[in-house]
Structure 1
Amino acid sequence: MEEKKRSQSLQFYEVEMGEGVTLPFAEEGIFAGFPSPAQDDRLESIDLNRELIRHPATTFLARIVGDSMIGANIYEGDIVVVDRALEVHNDDVVVCCVNGEFNIKFVERHGSEVYLVSANSAYPRMRVDPEDDFILWGVVTYVIHRPRRI
């Protein structure tokens, strides 16, 4: 069986905060039972920029290319919101650059050792060696994907 490539390509986008788009928002939640006609009267508005982006100057979006994070419900074509201002913790999903190749992985730190872990068993756990050109770009704070592929 051919070993899968350990990197994953990402397409990057800047965040434009301009004038926000407000959408109807059911503030009290959506109930999984039968909907009540009275719920239509309780719609508020929500600005997704304010909801999803805490640090506009250090936040960017990236489109996922590849399948190394499918076990974390991050699929090819999804858009991730990445905040570069956040401190990285163990088990965070991060965007990083290893030897010029961008990746999205879980990060594990054990003392001075850093490992990048996929959420797909087809990809091996990757140890970041001291001689690697390694940059942690930021922490993934949200994943935007369709529940049904069209």
Structure 2
Amino acid sequence: MSINKNENKLTFIRPDFKSEVKIPMIADGVSAGFPSPAQDFMENNIDLNKELSENLLATFYIKVAGNSMVDAGIDDKDILVVDRSLEPADKKIAICFVDGEFTVKRLKLEKDCLYLMPENQNYEPIKVSEENNFIIWGIVTYVIKKL
């Protein structure tokens, strides 16, 4: 089994929960259909480090390198929010450590077998066996991307 070398260059970043940076936020939301009346542009502040983290001590940001997950909306240079406290489950997207290298893939559990599924038809699934050095490092909870 081999992992495409362009798919394992994940950059791990720990959120700064002591940061005092507050970003202005309009809490009422914005209509994605027809325009809605402005409600005096009520403005609050948001701390994305805290907003995107359910478990502060187990949350990491990871920058993606590669395109094996594009059909899941995860592109090269996106930032993933990963929670290490969540239990792995079928169809969850996970950061996995396989034979000394990190990769992001969708989990596919079958009877007595685990596959790491890419979301790009140009990549092959990775079958995980007892011979592999394998750890599910964390579960992806959010994707932050530049448009």
Q: Give the alignment's TM-score, normalised by structure 2.
A: 0.89
Deviations 1:60-112 (A, max 9, x none): 11110000000011111111011100001111110001001100000011132
Match of 1:5 in 2: 4
Letter of the 1:121 partner, please give it. Answer: Q
SS state of the match for residue 86, structure 1? coil
Deviation at 1:21, TM superposition (A): 2.1
Aligned pairs, number: 143
**Tell me, which stretches of 5 or more residues in structure 1 are unaligned?**
none
Tell me, in whole angstroms, the C-alpha distance in 2 between the residues paired with 1:65 and 1:94.
Answer: 15
Tell me, in whole angstroms, the C-alpha distance in 1 between the residues paired with 2:39 and 2:65.
Answer: 38
**Which range is displaced more, 49-58 or 76-85?**
49-58
Tell me, in whole angstroms, the C-alpha distance in 1 between the residues paired with 2:106 and 2:20.
Answer: 31
**Which range is displaced more, 117-126 or 53-62?**
53-62
* 1:1-150 equivalent positions in 2, closer than 5 A: 5=4, 7-32=7-32, 33-34=34-35, 36=37, 38-147=38-147
Tell me, in whole angstroms, the C-alpha distance in 2 between the residues paired with 1:96 and 1:20.
Answer: 32
SS state of the match for residue 80, structure 1? strand
Tell me, in whole angstroms, the C-alpha distance in 1 between the residues paired with 2:133 and 2:39.
Answer: 53
SS state of the match for residue 50, structure 1? helix
Deviations 1:29-77 (A, max 9, x none): 10133464x3443222222122101112111111100000000111111
Sequence identity percentage:
36
Q: What root-mean-square deviation, in Å, do the aligned CA atoms of Structure 1 and Structure 2 show? A: 1.7
Determine if contact 1:20/1:49 at 8 Å carries over to the other structure.
no
Runs of 4+ in 1 over 6 A off after TM superposition: none
Letter of the 2:74 partner, please give it. Answer: I
Tell me, in whole angstroms, the C-alpha distance in 1 between the residues paired with 2:87 and 2:25.
Answer: 30
Tell me, in whole angstroms, the C-alpha distance in 1 between the residues paired with 2:63 and 2:122.
Answer: 21
Q: Give the alignment's TM-score, normalised by structure 1.
A: 0.87
Determine if contact 1:79/1:143 at 8 Å carries over to the other structure.
yes
Deviation at 1:130, TM superposition (A): 0.8
Determine if contact 1:10/1:102 at 8 Å carries over to the other structure.
yes
Tell me, in whole angstroms, the C-alpha distance in 2 between the residues paired with 1:102 and 1:123.
Answer: 16
